[in-house]
Amino acid sequence: MSEVAHTPAQAGSGPVETREILRLSGYQRFIHLLVVIAFFILAFTGIPLKFHEWAWAKMILSALGGYENARYLHRFGAILTFIYIGLYFAEIAYRFVIKREKGLFWGPDSIIPRVEDVIHVAQMVIWFCIGGRRPKIDRWAYWEKFDFFAEAWGNFALGVTGLILWFPAFFTRLLPGFAISMSTIIHGIEASLAVCFIFFIHFFNAHLRREKFPMDMVIVTGRMSMHEFAEDRPAELERVQKDNALFWHQVPPASPVLAKVGRTVGLILLVLGLGISVCITYSSFAEWIPRVIRFFS
């Protein structure tokens, strides 16, 4: 999806050397903020319920005011999830039907995977292993597309099973009784995978890579410097320069205060997320640790 500045007033503000590239609109950043809020509410209320017998889970549940409060907060997080999904599809519909944007579902500006993404994966593996030329990434990198569709699948699986568990009396009129047990298993496993994926993989791809550490501020400010743009998205830069459209992508820098707040909040969330991910991993495999030790001893 292409999110660029289209107004001369925006593009022309400030000296050229200080302007930055607009990557995400305010609306998209608001949706991502809802994603973050909903995700953390769901993670820190649902995961302790799944691992309620562990000491760390009991501490979190106690801080939340008990099991019942955790359940209510979890449902509130679910409602926020349905809200941001609705807002996202509303934006897609507006851009497709009203604005008639081209390339929304196919092409270099689309989030839909293309053949080029497979080539980029192969080029990146070669670059990692033996060197050579790094792939020239366009609007969306292949790992960003993977993250997007991984979350889409996770939302679908968690949403369906969560609704079944939320309204069992209604769904057992339509489904066999074992659907409740299956939903409990799937919901718990998928939730654990989602949390670990976000903090072990997504956060690394987005924030902990050498060139982005300690945090990629695009998700906070919606902007990146010209240097970052040239380094991260060389194929897109070539396209907009060829079309003489680079000027229309440029906006004034974001407020330094916004960047500081974003870094601070992001660091806190990262520490919390990595902490609960480690707890999930340990609790999931704790019973296997003595067996592995005995096997190698």
pLDDT, one tens digit per residue, over 141-185 is 998 999 999 989 999 999 999 999 999 999 999 999 899 999 999
| Residue bearing tokens 């074992």 | 178
Task: Identify the pLDDT of residue 201.
Answer: 86
> Residue 101: which of 150, 144, 135, 139 has the closest Cα?
139
Assess whether the previous peptide bond of 252 is cis (omega < 30° from 0): no
Distances (CA, A) of 211 to 92, 203, 241: 31, 13, 24
On the CB side of 234, how many CA atoms lie within 13 Å of its CA?
5
Q: Of 76-85, 103-112, 119-128, 275-284, which one has max mean pLDDT?
A: 76-85
pTM as predicted: 0.84
Low-confidence winner among 141-145, 198-202, 240-244 (lowest mean pLDDT): 240-244
